[in-house]
Amino acid sequence: MGVAFRLPKCCTEKKGIKMSKFKELINGDQPVLVDFYADWCGPCKAQTPILSEVAKAVEGKAKIIKIDVDKNQAAAAQYGVQSIPTLLLFKNGEVVWRNVGVAQKPQLLQAITSNV
C-alpha cells in the first residue's frame, strides 16, 4: 500500500478488514479517523501524505486507519460511503465528523483535537 504511517495489521491485509475488528477499533478509547479509499482513486492518493503528517501529529491521541472500499464493501455501505475519499472520525463507536473529498491537514487536526 505504500503508507508511511503505521496501521493496524487488519487494515493492511490483502483480504480486507473483518467487521468485528473494525468495530473493535472504532469502539476503542481513542478517536479513530477512517479513510475510505481505493487504490485507483487519484484524490485518495493525494490524501495519503496528508494523513501521514496528521498521524505523526496525533500519535498516541488518535488512530488513523485506511479502508479499501473495493475490498471492504460492507463497511463502506454501512456508513453510506458513496464517494471517495471519505473520511469519518469515530468516537465511542459514533461518527462525530465526516468529510467527502481531500481534507487538508489543519482541517483534520481540528476535527481530531476537538474530539480527543
Residues classed as catalytic: 41, 44
Distance CA 71, CA 17 (A): 8
Distance (Å, whole) CA 116 – CA 31: 6
Alpha carbon distance 65, 3 (integer Å): 10
Phi, psi of 35 (to 5 degrees): -100, 110
Cell numbers given for 30? 481513542
